[in-house]
Structure 1
Amino acid sequence: MPNLRGEGLDPRIKLRHLSVFLEVVRTGSVVQAASALGLTQPALSKTIAELEEILQVKLFDRAGRKLSLTSFGEVFQRYAGASLTALKQGMRSMAQARDDQAAAFSIGALPTVSARILPRAAARFMAQGLGLKPRIVTGPNGYLLSQLRLGEVDLVIGRMAEPEMMRGFAFEHLYEEAIALVVRPAHPLLKSQRFDLAAIANYQLLMPPPGSIIRPTAQRYLTAHALGPFAGEIETISDNFARAYVRASDAVWIISEGVVAEELAHGFLARLPADTSATLGPVGLTTRTDVQPSLPAQLFAQSVREAVAALG
């Protein structure tokens, strides 16, 4: 432990010493300073005496009831005032940080909703001017559910997980969504007069990896159509990589419809005319059953519901 005396810091000096000293300087009177601080005059005089003893200098010249600073007192005033001001600023900063922390809450979002629903929901929420700060956390479903279970996120928005992963969670259904087989707009498979799903075996396939929420659905769909395994298969949870790769190649990307809804709507990507109605799955809000979501999270959830309703 450092030697405070050797460094010029005496542990005997307390905040009350600085406060009393500066108030006496401000008022120039023991009586007025004691009244302002809610102290008795003897208690205030004792505090000044203690400070002078610690510093081993005389801080005030006394002329009747009036006090004036000595040359030592003038020097000490500059540093004591700066120190107390810095401390108050630090305390205000901590209070601000604490308030900001209280106003913040975390929302876990799967790619299913991150591209289409979530931006609209966030815009609706922020337009209310509530002074609340949502933190959007993205990642694989297993990770987000573990964060929800630990209380690190308040709720998770996205496709419902497999039943074995939903223990201890409640799910509020908002809408149904299928997976899509997505390619670049000029893909050869789009030029065929009659689309044959089996033809995707001739192209690289981008698949969600094991552990991702739609992997079981995608795997069941391919198995039901006697497709796979594929030699040129790439597993990825990176939507940015998959978008870029598909647009620059003839790869076929199997992904949740909502992830690429905007790109499909604007013609940046195209959907193969494959019937994927059997892959419809519920998308909604996942919360813990043992605790009520925080009020900010409930308000954000309402914005999500409104965004979904607005999109029909």
Structure 2
Amino acid sequence: MIAPANTIRKRLRLRHLQLMMALSETESLRSAADELAMTQPAATKALKELEDTMGASLFVRHARGMQATVYGEAVMRYARVVFEDLDELREELAAIEAGDIGKVRIGAVMAPAPELLTKVIVQLKDAHPRLHITVQIDTSDVLVQALQQDQLDIVVGRIPYGFPANDLSFETLAEEALAIVARPGHPVFESAGRPKLDELAGYAWIVQPHPSPMREIIDQTFRESRVAPPVSTVETSSILTTLSLLRDSDMLAVLPSSVADYYASLDTIASIATPLRGRLAPYGLILRSNRRISPATQLVIEAIRAA
């Protein structure tokens, strides 16, 4: 029977987790003991203590070594998180000692990138030049998974429908509309009036991969308009690839209106008046509800809310 949480807190020791990390790499108690400079009896005793603490068998012993049970795999996964957190703690302490204020890893969908994130990052770097910021632009499903795997600290996006999100919090920031875009001078702009969707379907389209919300809106538009979707498509979530393809071809693409307006102001693309039927759900600030927020991350959160 799995032990109560307070029992685990009282009895769990760092050496238990070190042993689990070593066993995850070696699958041999003797090799793990050697790696940790322990005797094999001491390693055997520590593993027994850990199994008693957890209230579950963590390994199956066999002639060729040890194989982790489903409980053992779970403990090893959390052991890795603990040591990753300790590495981050050390980096944060070293940064404070050096006069820095830490680092923050931001993930965002396309819509807030040109204006919101740019404004936030410029303001933060002006106020805190030694704040280290990394930004990853991708679809919400990729970003939320990275957040849950401790590869990001903040996501500005959406929690995908049906995605396991018990450990996530969501704070609405803004809504966004979508626009169909093409290069300036595209043949579609030569005819008077608003192009019909079936005319546009004859061109190749650049679309985001499934299961992104933007792709669902595109599919919904064709379905509800009773128009066959484009037979020629390129799937990508990269804005750079999308802009390059639009520049050198007669392809069409769908972008958040804020992104379309930004690049239209640079004469890179132009919006087509044909509307899309659907509308994306609001994007927002996504955090792990069960994780401590670092001072650097809190600075970014406050800047995003203010912007």
Rounded to whole Å, the distance in 2 between the matches of 1:279 and 1:206 is: 18
Rounded to whole Å, the distance in 1 between the matches of 2:127 and 2:188 is: 46
Instruction: Answer yes or no: is the 8 Å Cα contact 2:219–2:229 preserved in 1.
Output: no
Instruction: Answer yes or no: is the 8 Å Cα contact 1:107–1:137 preserved in 2.
Output: yes
Equivalent residue, structure 2, for 1:290: 290
The 3 A distance-change label for structure 1 pair 193 and 179 is same
Rounded to whole Å, the distance in 1 between the matches of 2:268 and 2:297 is: 34
The 3 A distance-change label for structure 1 pair 249 and 94 is closer
Rounded to whole Å, the distance in 2 between the matches of 1:165 and 1:120 is: 30
The amino acid across from 2:156 in the alignment is I
Shift of 1:276: 3.0
The 3 A distance-change label for structure 1 pair 305 and 222 is farther
The 3 A distance-change label for structure 1 pair 107 and 99 is farther
Shift of 1:96: 4.4
Rounded to whole Å, the distance in 2 between the matches of 1:206 and 1:130 is: 38
Rounded to whole Å, the distance in 1 between the matches of 2:184 and 2:92 is: 53
Query: Is 1:154 the counterpart of 2:153 in the alignment?
Result: yes
Equivalent residue, structure 2, for 1:165: 163
Shift of 1:254: 1.5
Structure 2 regions of 5+ residues with no counterpart? 1-90
Equivalent residue, structure 2, for 1:105: 104
Larger Rg: 1
Structure 1 regions of 5+ residues with no counterpart? 1-92, 308-312
The 3 A distance-change label for structure 1 pair 277 and 300 is farther
SS in 2 for 1:305: helix
Rounded to whole Å, the distance in 2 between the matches of 1:156 and 1:104 is: 15
Equivalent residue, structure 2, for 1:33: none
**Structure-to-structure mapping, 1:212-223, within 5 angstroms:** 212-223=212-223
The amino acid across from 1:155 in the alignment is I
The 3 A distance-change label for structure 1 pair 185 and 224 is same
The amino acid across from 1:193 in the alignment is A
Rounded to whole Å, the distance in 1 between the matches of 2:258 and 2:239 is: 12
Instruction: Answer yes or no: is the 8 Å Cα contact 2:138–2:238 preserved in 1.
Output: no
Shift of 1:205: 0.9
Equivalent residue, structure 1, for 2:52: none
The amino acid across from 1:123 in the alignment is V
TM-score (norm 2): 0.62
Total equivalences in the alignment: 214
SS in 1 for 2:300: helix
Rounded to whole Å, the distance in 1 between the matches of 2:304 and 2:190 is: 38
Equivalent residue, structure 1, for 2:122: 123
Equivalent residue, structure 1, for 2:203: 203
Instruction: Answer yes or no: is the 8 Å Cα contact 1:103–1:132 preserved in 2.
Output: yes
The amino acid across from 1:271 in the alignment is S
Rounded to whole Å, the distance in 2 between the matches of 1:184 and 1:285 is: 32
Equivalent residue, structure 2, for 1:305: 305
Equivalent residue, structure 2, for 1:264: 264
Rounded to whole Å, the distance in 2 between the matches of 1:149 and 1:119 is: 25
Rounded to whole Å, the distance in 2 between the matches of 1:132 and 1:107 is: 13
TM-score (norm 1): 0.61
Instruction: Answer yes or no: is the 8 Å Cα contact 1:218–1:279 preserved in 2.
Output: no
Instruction: Answer yes or no: is the 8 Å Cα contact 2:180–2:275 preserved in 1.
Output: no
SS in 1 for 2:282: strand
The amino acid across from 2:184 in the alignment is P
Cα RMSD after superposing both structures = 2.6
CA shift digits 1:183-206 (9 cap, x unpaired): 111122222222222210121111
Instruction: Answer yes or no: is the 8 Å Cα contact 1:205–1:234 preserved in 2.
Output: yes
Instruction: Answer yes or no: is the 8 Å Cα contact 1:107–1:297 preserved in 2.
Output: no
**Structure-to-structure mapping, 1:172-211, within 5 angstroms:** 172-195=171-194, 196-211=196-211
Instruction: Answer yes or no: is the 8 Å Cα contact 1:207–1:255 preserved in 2.
Output: no
Deviating more after overlay: 184-193 vs 161-170: 161-170
Rounded to whole Å, the distance in 1 between the matches of 2:197 and 2:101 is: 52
Instruction: Answer yes or no: is the 8 Å Cα contact 1:108–1:156 preserved in 2.
Output: yes
CA shift digits 1:270-302 (9 cap, x unpaired): 111022363243122111222353332222122
Rounded to whole Å, the distance in 2 between the matches of 1:94 and 1:128 is: 19
Shift of 1:114: 2.3
SS in 1 for 2:231: coil
Shift of 1:121: 1.0
The 3 A distance-change label for structure 1 pair 123 and 107 is same
Instruction: Answer yes or no: is the 8 Å Cα contact 2:220–2:278 preserved in 1.
Output: no
Rounded to whole Å, the distance in 2 between the matches of 1:103 and 1:94 is: 5
Shift of 1:97: 6.3
Rounded to whole Å, the distance in 1 between the matches of 2:191 and 2:92 is: 65
Identity value in percent? 23
Rounded to whole Å, the distance in 2 between the matches of 1:170 and 1:96 is: 30
Rounded to whole Å, the distance in 2 between the matches of 1:297 and 1:119 is: 16
Rounded to whole Å, the distance in 2 between the matches of 1:111 and 1:162 is: 15
